Structure 1
Amino acid sequence: MKELGRISTLPINRFTSNGAYLQLSDGEEVLLPQGYLNGDEKEGDEKEVFVYTDSEDRPVAITDRPVALVDEFAVMDVKEVTQFGAFMDWGLPKDLFVPKSEMGKPITEGQKYLVMVCVDYKTNRLIGVSKYQDFMLSDTGGFEEGQEIKGLVFDKTDLGYKILIDQHYEGLVYGNEVFKPIMVGEEITAYIKKKRDDGKLDLQLTPIGRQKYEEGAEKILAVLTEKKFLPLHDKSSPEDIKISLGMSKKHFKQSIGQLYKSKKIRILNDGIEIVD
């Protein structure tokens, strides 16, 4: 069944008390339950549906859309863990099952994990696979250093945050270069800092052209990029500066001096603001 795990537009063949039966490409039918009908449909009408298997492993069509289709990744919440595997919330009435044999590492209830939706060809049903490394590509020839990318934050480690790029590439933003909150499951914009020999990508959250600033100036610039203005100046108390930026007053003054000379900020009587 080529429609399994995908969004398809299928015609209505017939109606029963259970709902509408839709025509599949292989000549078989799949039930769209009554609860997904608005009552105005007629035979021959087409419905855009997602096809998967119900709690009894029977093919069924629904009009809801999951967070990922077959052969796609998404970060999912763990709803329940059993001795056989884990059940993930992917936005549908029936949770996505990740068999224990398909776990990349032990899964903990209540946490988030990167999972790919796959077809289990032994049972002809959809399952989740958290062994994400099996799907990663190492040929990064299509990327350039300095390139802007969109990525999905899928894990936090001692080094930093792992980022999924274009569904098949792994990037890393180092923790000591992150100056704003980042959450697992969040989509972010980042820039390629380095293409590594192992096929992974080192990333940073600010454009590569800003690397010339030392760490304190980079941190202030990142905060100003988001907030536009900071009520801190050379008369601010060391405590206020430390609470807001986690740096000493001396370091703060050196950093804003560097940014001011580079014409990246304006120094006002009541604070500093970024130059657009």
Structure 2
Amino acid sequence: MNNNLAAELTAIVTDKNEDQLFVQKNGVTYKVLSDVQASIGDVLKGFAYADKQDALVFTTDIPAIRPGTYGWGEVVKVNRKLGVFVDIGWPDKDVVVSMDDLPAEGRLWPKEGNRLFLSVKVDEKGRIWGILAEEAQFFDDYVEGTKDMHNNDVKGTVFHLKKSGTYAITEEKLILFIHPSERESEPKMGETISGRVIGLREDGVLYTSLKPRAHEVMEEDAMMLLEVLKRSEDGEIPFHNKTDPETIKNQFGISKGQFKRAVGRLMKRNLITQDEHGTRLTDFPAEDKE
């Protein structure tokens, strides 16, 4: 096995033509990817690996992600029988994170465009694999949250999935924890999530909710109700705040409390009026009721 794969090394320029340089180390030849000026016999320092075509290549630009160092890579392809391919910044090379290192449930695998924090390793057959950072590595270098962050909007990348909840980390290295009760569905590994801070754990981890704020939910319900009124024949519906809850639930798919809040929000904006006969748009004339 070539022990110089995915490794920093010094090599001697052994061949040169108009378009290409070649270097050699321990009798193994590598094609130089970097645009460097060198002559035969010069010594270059760089990084060697096998590209997508298994050709041995050498770059003088040492990559940020290499054995022993971690960084963020982007998922570029998903193969259910193998794992996910990740772009880690190596020219003409993506690394595979094995399916053995991904969630057992396929629906929680990262998808294209998601980000993973990883390093690389070379196995006994000379294959280069991506290896995900352990949970402890995120906690080694994180920023503790503070009480004044309560209700702040936050955005983070999911790095760990547990039965107790989901962990994500922000660009500022704040760690977020989302309890299953504070999400509509479980985020994927590597997914970017947006939420709001709802509490502070003793160790500075921010309890986070992915559910919309109450006023945002109310706004959605109000928009839905307004759309129903606009689509009605005369800008009116035979439902009001005295209508029984089951009827409202069957008709609109929301609770009576949500219905009343939506009505209140629309009335506050003078978009609707309501009486014992129903609810109507303000720009439709009210008809006399028998």
* TM-score normalized by the length of structure 1: 0.51
Shift of 1:156: 7.0
Secondary structure of residue in 2 paired with 1:112: coil
Q: Is 1:53 aligned to residue 58 of structure 2? A: no
Change beyond 3 A, Cα 1:116–1:127: farther
Q: Which ranges of structure 2 fall in alignment gaps of 5 or more residues?
A: 1-5, 8-14, 24-29, 39-45, 230-235, 240-244, 273-279, 283-290
Q: In the aligned structure 2, how far is the partner of 1:126 from the partner of 1:166?
A: 28
Cross-structure match for 2:157: 152
Secondary structure of residue in 2 paired with 1:190: strand
Change beyond 3 A, Cα 1:181–1:62: farther
Shift of 1:141: 2.8
Change beyond 3 A, Cα 1:119–1:185: closer
Q: Indicate conservation of the 8 Å contact 2:161/2:189, yes or no.
A: yes
Q: Is 1:247 aligned to residue 254 of structure 2? A: yes
Shift of 1:103: 2.9
Q: Indicate conservation of the 8 Å contact 1:21/1:30, yes or no.
A: yes
Cross-structure match for 1:129: 131
Q: In the aligned structure 2, how far is the partner of 1:42 from the partner of 1:243?
A: 71
Secondary structure of residue in 2 paired with 1:136: helix
Matched to 2:254, the amino acid is: M
1:26-83: CA deviations, max 9, x gaps? Answer: xxx86229xxxxxxx8958xxxxx96622548444599x99x88622346354255xx
Secondary structure of residue in 1 paired with 2:217: helix
Shift of 1:133: 0.7
Q: Is 1:96 aligned to residue 102 of structure 2? A: no
Greater C-alpha radius of gyration: 2
Count of aligned pairs: 227
Change beyond 3 A, Cα 1:174–1:62: farther
Secondary structure of residue in 2 paired with 1:231: helix
Shift of 1:152: 2.2
Shift of 1:119: 4.3
Q: In the aligned structure 2, how far is the partner of 1:60 from the partner of 1:241?
A: 68
Cross-structure match for 1:235: 237
Percent of pairs with identical residues: 16
Q: In the aligned structure 2, how far is the partner of 1:266 from the partner of 1:175?
A: 39
Change beyond 3 A, Cα 1:99–1:240: same
Report matched runs for 1:175-254 at 5 Å.
176-178=181-183, 185-205=190-210, 213=214, 217-221=215-219, 231-232=227-228, 235=237, 246-248=253-255, 250-254=256-260
Q: In the aligned structure 2, how far is the partner of 1:159 from the partner of 1:236?
A: 45
Q: Is 1:171 aligned to residue 167 of structure 2? A: no
1:68-109: CA deviations, max 9, x gaps? Answer: 88622346354255xxxx542124754413468x83755859
Matched to 1:89, the amino acid is: F
Report the aligned-residue RMSD.
5.8
Q: In the aligned structure 2, how far is the partner of 1:151 from the partner of 1:32?
A: 35
Matched to 1:103, the amino acid is: D
Q: In the aligned structure 2, how far is the partner of 1:220 from the partner of 1:52?
A: 57
The farther-off stretch of 104-113 and 129-138 is: 104-113
Change beyond 3 A, Cα 1:133–1:243: farther
Secondary structure of residue in 1 paired with 2:70: coil
Q: In the aligned structure 2, how far is the partner of 1:243 from the partner of 1:61?
A: 65
Secondary structure of residue in 1 paired with 2:135: helix
Cross-structure match for 1:112: 110
Could you tell me which of 140, 144, 147 is aligned with 1:141? 144
